[in-house]
Structure 1
Amino acid sequence: MKKIRSKTLYALLAFGVLSTAVLACQTINVDLSGSGGLSETETPTSVPTPTLAPPPLPASGRIVFVSNRDGKKKIYIMNADGSDQRALTSGDSEDEKPRWSPDGTRVAFTSRTKDNTDIYIVDVASGALTRLTDDPARDSSPAWSPDGLRIVFESFRDGNFQLYIINADGSGLRRLTDSADGDTNPAWSPDGKSIAFMKSSNDLNSDIYLISPDGSGLTGLTSDSVPDSDPVWSPDGSMIAFRSFPSQNVTDICVMNRDGSSRRCLSNSQWENGVPAWSPDGQSLAFRSERGGSSGIEMINVSDGSSKSLVTGAPVKGDPAWSPDGFRLAYQADAGNNMEIYEIAISTHEVTQLTQSPGFDGEPAWTLQ
């Protein structure tokens, strides 16, 4: 684990405490008789010191990520401070897109071989693998139901991408959508009642749709002339954030109510932005941004649209992941000749390098357990 930034905040705090102590110990002698002598001591009015925000608590939880440090991309896990890094998967496949189960005990992921791409689940404690799909076509992008019992995913087994649902034990496979074009990017609502996804059309456009897990209630939420993609539910399920593409290499970060109303875009349409991630309190969105031609991480307040840069001047790749307490973000960035995983404290902007391997380390996802 490597600290990237000095502890300037703590030095200032220590200086403030020392200054207060010195002032408190000083005395002023006053002659109460008017003769000019020194007869009694008066303690001066205390000088208030500025209150500095305390640093965040130590990082907690665990982070799952992808690494090819041993030749093939595998699913790895580590503590939130970067310690105890170990592989969860092995073999000749290329494993990626790890997704934590809601209870933090299992990880769903995509496993690719020369023949096909399928969905697996690995038990974090035992390492036991469950193969969910076994089809010559590509199965990808698993998303858990909030109760951890089912997984929705996209599959190309019908000649174009459609959504399927399967039980977490591998039983009960069924097709969810039947589109002439393609359905991808599924995201299960926090209440389990709806699945948001991207529906593509032959004119290279795409929109955000909702469907119930039983296949009923297909509803379009967006219907404009520009592509919309990557729906992400707010923690309370009342809103959906997504990306909109007004022109080539330009991406807006937008939000809307779960019924498609009150749509508004929060970012400025001048550069490319990655998939947004909701803060645990639902107040902010963090995302990779190519602002000014340099990739970094931006954070936008959802209510008023105010933004600030969290990471600048670093070749950030992929999408950030919030810590469960909302104090930190994990992200991947180019460390010269390879990709590494970093962590930034939101309040202090202190950056910590979590991985340091000769290969690719990326796609971090955080859980509290």
Structure 2
Amino acid sequence: MSRLLPLLLAVPALLSAACGSSETPPKEPLGAMPEASTTAKPEWLPFRIRAGKPVESDPKEKHLTELRQLTFGGENAEAYWSPDSRKLILQSTRGNDECDQIYLLDLGTGETNRVSNGQGKTTCSYFFYPGDKGPEKVLFASSHEHSPACPPKPDRSQGYVWPLDEFDIYTANPDGTDIKPFITGKGYDAEATIAFDGSRIVFTSTRDGDLDLYTSNLDGTDIKRITTTPGYDGGAFFSPDSTKLVWRASRPEGAELEEYKALLAKGMVRPSKLEIVVASADGANPRTITKNGRANFGPYFLPDSRRVIFSSDMASPPGHRGVPNFELFVVDSEGTPGPEGAPTPERITHYEGFDGFPMFSPDGQYLVFASNRFGGKPGETNLFVARWVE
């Protein structure tokens, strides 16, 4: 409106000239013209992921476009989305960290803050309240109350094994304040995730002597064991419609079962033979949807609550020695069984190295995953996000 001021002030003079008036126009403005201003936030602007930087896509990865690298250096993995698809919570060893800690990454600004307290070792974080179930909280597993220092690394004389450290599950505010014990007990309690409808939590525990899945209410009550077959059951996620679970599982028999029990007694598990299992949300009617005898892990449902994306070393030749090649695959959990007795998966990534821990954003538009690609040094693992293309 202020741009009209010179024209408005000139109007009396123009009228005087046109009508032959002898009136003298005022020498000063009659008043200042107010300028419009607003403090309203432009909510109509679409959200864009600005964290990190764009990197070159592989044309063979036809389902992934607008690829961005989100972290740069260190070990970064297991990134999980906030309900509004604008933040990620992840575990990372970076800076002065001696072992994994939990961090929150704002995808709009790139700002990162540590959520865990910097003590012990942490893993398996997740956003606590989906949707409008209450104030935003996060949860994660940590060993800090059992040992403020990092737990010792596993004995590699046993081969490649995962340690089962003394973990409890905690809740916290996203800024790292108000860290409180949530699910505790002797042994390993970790790998907790939450149903989209807020009905149940699923987690992995050794509380009954094996690695099994348990569910509970959102307040940690009504804990129920939902797997009982000997072997490792872990890394479970609910489907977007909250009616199913998917997880990784081993089903050793004979000598392999005895070896599994011996390692478990030492707080270790060998993840070399894991298959992907789908069942009802209460664990009923489990079905194995991979049968390749390889290391399949990190499963997550696609938005249709039917297909499952997961990581596997099945692309490595049989008998391969050295670092295995883990790629992402998608399998239709209700598809027609192939020669192996399970639906044939579709390969998604083509990087000769590690690609794992995939997760779709709640709005179904993006996929986040961890990868060794574009690493500054061998073994470096970073997070990447891509827009999913069907």
The reply to whether TM is greater than 0.5 is yes
Cα contact 1:115–1:136 (8 A) shared by 2: no
Alignment of 1:166-245 (within 5 A): 166-200=172-206, 205-245=210-250
Aligned to 1:217, what secondary structure does the other structure show? coil
Alignment of 1:19-38 (within 5 A): none
Q: For residue 101 of structure 2, what is the aligned residue in structure 1? A: 118
Say if 1:298 and 1:357 are closer, same or farther in 2 by CA, change over 3 A.
Answer: closer
Superposition deviation, residue 98 in structure 1: 3.1
Say if 1:184 and 1:310 are closer, same or farther in 2 by CA, change over 3 A.
Answer: same
Say if 1:118 and 1:230 are closer, same or farther in 2 by CA, change over 3 A.
Answer: same
Cα contact 1:100–1:365 (8 A) shared by 2: no
Superposition deviation, residue 199 in structure 1: 0.7
Q: For residue 331 of structure 2, what is the aligned residue in structure 1? A: 300
Deviations 1:131-166 (A, max 9, x none): 433242223321013238111100102322011111
Superposition deviation, residue 208 in structure 1: 0.7
Aligned to 1:274, what secondary structure does the other structure show? strand
Superposition deviation, residue 77 in structure 1: 5.2
Please state if 1:255 is matched with 2:286: no
Aligned to 2:347, what secondary structure does the other structure show? strand
Give the share of equivalent positions with the same residue, in percent: 20
What CA distance in whole angstroms lies between the structure 2 residues aligned with 1:273 and 1:312? Answer: 15
Superposition deviation, residue 252 in structure 1: 1.3
Match of 2:352 among 315, 326, 331: 315
What CA distance in whole angstroms lies between the structure 1 residues aligned with 2:105 and 2:366? Answer: 26
Which amino acid letter does the alignment assign opposite residue 231 of structure 1? A
Match of 2:145 among 142, 155, 158: 158
- Identify which range, 322-331 or 181-190, moves more after superposition: 322-331
Superposition deviation, residue 187 in structure 1: 0.8
Say if 1:127 and 1:275 are closer, same or farther in 2 by CA, change over 3 A.
Answer: closer
What CA distance in whole angstroms lies between the structure 2 residues aligned with 1:302 and 1:184? Answer: 26
Q: For residue 76 of structure 1, what is the aligned residue in structure 2? A: 52
What CA distance in whole angstroms lies between the structure 2 residues aligned with 1:262 and 1:299? Answer: 21
Cα contact 2:141–2:189 (8 A) shared by 1: yes
More strand by percentage: 1
Q: For residue 37 of structure 2, what is the aligned residue in structure 1? A: none
Alignment of 1:249-288 (within 5 A): 249-288=272-311
- Kindly report the root-mean-square deviation, in angstroms, between the aligned alpha carbons of the 2 structures: 3.6
Deviations 1:30-81 (A, max 9, x none): xxxxxxxxxxxxxxxxxxxxxxxxxxxxxx99779xxxxxxxxxx8354974
What CA distance in whole angstroms lies between the structure 2 residues aligned with 1:192 and 1:264? Answer: 24
Superposition deviation, residue 307 in structure 1: 2.0
Aligned to 2:220, what secondary structure does the other structure show? coil
Say if 1:288 and 1:316 are closer, same or farther in 2 by CA, change over 3 A.
Answer: farther
Which amino acid letter does the alignment assign opposite residue 140 of structure 1? T
Say if 1:217 and 1:367 are closer, same or farther in 2 by CA, change over 3 A.
Answer: farther
Superposition deviation, residue 303 in structure 1: 2.1
Superposition deviation, residue 188 in structure 1: 1.4
What CA distance in whole angstroms lies between the structure 1 residues aligned with 2:292 and 2:76? Answer: 34
Superposition deviation, residue 312 in structure 1: 8.5
What CA distance in whole angstroms lies between the structure 2 residues aligned with 1:174 and 1:125? Answer: 28
Superposition deviation, residue 126 in structure 1: 3.8
What CA distance in whole angstroms lies between the structure 1 residues aligned with 2:219 and 2:304? Answer: 30
What CA distance in whole angstroms lies between the structure 1 residues aligned with 2:214 and 2:187? Answer: 14
What CA distance in whole angstroms lies between the structure 2 residues aligned with 1:224 and 1:126? Answer: 45
Q: For residue 29 of structure 1, what is the aligned residue in structure 2? A: none
Name structure 1 gaps, 5 residues minimum.
1-59, 65-74, 334-338, 341-355
Say if 1:324 and 1:220 are closer, same or farther in 2 by CA, change over 3 A.
Answer: closer
Cα contact 2:75–2:381 (8 A) shared by 1: no
Q: For residue 89 of structure 2, what is the aligned residue in structure 1? A: 108
What CA distance in whole angstroms lies between the structure 2 residues aligned with 1:266 and 1:192? Answer: 26
Say if 1:280 and 1:133 are closer, same or farther in 2 by CA, change over 3 A.
Answer: same
Match of 1:246 among 235, 244, 251: 251
Which amino acid letter does the alignment assign opposite residue 215 of structure 1? G
Q: For residue 39 of structure 1, what is the aligned residue in structure 2? A: none
Superposition deviation, residue 175 in structure 1: 1.0
